[in-house]
Amino acid sequence: MPFPADPATALKRRLAAGWAGGDYAVIGATLQVVAENLVEAVDLRAGERVLDVAAGTGNASLAAARRFAHVTSTDLQSLLLDKGRERARAEALPVTFIVADAEELPFADASFDVVLSTFGAMYAPDQAKAARELRRVLKPGGRIGLANWTPDGVAGRLLQTLAAHVPPPPGLPPPTRWGVPAELAALLDLDPACLRCARRSFHFRYRSALHWVQVFRDFHGPTRRAFAALDAPGQRTLERELGALLDAANAGGAGSLVVAADYLEAVIRPDGPVPISSPVL
């Protein structure tokens, strides 16, 4: 009889199972523009070794491979990597896919020129451990590129709404901590001068707020899991609150939904100040 998993492992399995529900590729594909902008922000070069951490269905992996980097795409959930593998095959992009925990990356120290994560590493339960791993596998002089939802943006508030109805496990820090420059610098144990941070917006574009809720309820694992944990009245309340938040932020008029969701784009050089003139937020 196998021994039961320790609490940390059990939590990771629970979170990974949450992302496996639905079909995240439907949601993830709409976020591709974030990854394209991120690889430009880190000034990716052909031939560099790139690691995409908590890659999901491979947005950053494919963006880097399109620029002729040598890419390794990792995620704790193999079903998500399978979708990334299908996408890479469709474009004939040479990407290596490996199931891996962001908190225990199976790579030697100083293995990669660039480490990327778009809305991925921020969800690691042990945030400090995941941040240390990002730095550990980076070569001297290398860059880390991250895209993380901000706590006060629409996406951050949507996450908070879900958490208010279905609380996360006790002691689990909010993933949007990664979207605050000072807190990100603290997690990475770096001087803020080593980070170049820019607040950017991704636009959700759907037919309506109710359409957004239905798509996420059907295909976004954590949202799907939250609704499943509630009874019928609780589901209606959650749907109403999510819809109201989106309607209040809608810039698309009566016929569509266009909502700007702020995220933090961070380029990090652990060896010293980022030599780009953009201000640190």
Q: How far apart are CA 195 and CA 182, in angstroms?
A: 10
What angle separates helix 7-20 from helix 78-90, to the nearest 10 degrees? 40
Q: How far apart are CA 193 and CA 172, in angstroms?
A: 28
Is it the case that residue 264 has pLDDT exceeding 80?
A: yes
250 Cβ contact list (under 8 Å, min separation 6): 209, 257, 258, 259
* Rg of the Cα atoms in the chain: 18
Predicted confidence band at 276 (pLDDT cuts at 50, 70, 90)? very low
Is it the case that residue 6 has pLDDT exceeding 50?
A: yes
Q: How far apart are CA 242 and CA 228, in angstroms?
A: 15
Phi then psi for residue 76, to 5 deg, are: -75, -20
pLDDT digits (tens, 9 = 90+) for 24-42: 999 999 999 999 999 999 9
pLDDT digits (tens, 9 = 90+) for 44-78: 999 999 999 999 999 999 999 999 999 999 999 99
Which structural domains are found in the chain, ordered by start? Answer: 7-152+162-203+263-268 (3.40.50.150)
Predicted confidence band at 278 (pLDDT cuts at 50, 70, 90)? very low
Is it the case that residue 3 has pLDDT exceeding 50?
A: no
Average of per-residue pLDDT values in the chain: 93
**Distance of CA 93 to CAs 38, 47, 70, 90, Å?**
19, 14, 10, 8
Sheet with 49-52, strands from edge to edge, namely 95-99, 70-75, 49-52, 112-118, 138-149, 257-268, 195-206
Q: Write down the pLDDT at residue 280.
A: 40
- In our burial notation (b when 16+ CB lie closer than 10 A, e otherwise), range 187-198 reads bbebebebbbbb
Kindly tell me the burial class for residue 47, based on how many C-beta atoms sit within 10 Å of its own C-beta (0-12, 13-18, 19 or more).
exposed
Q: Write down the pLDDT at residue 275.
A: 55
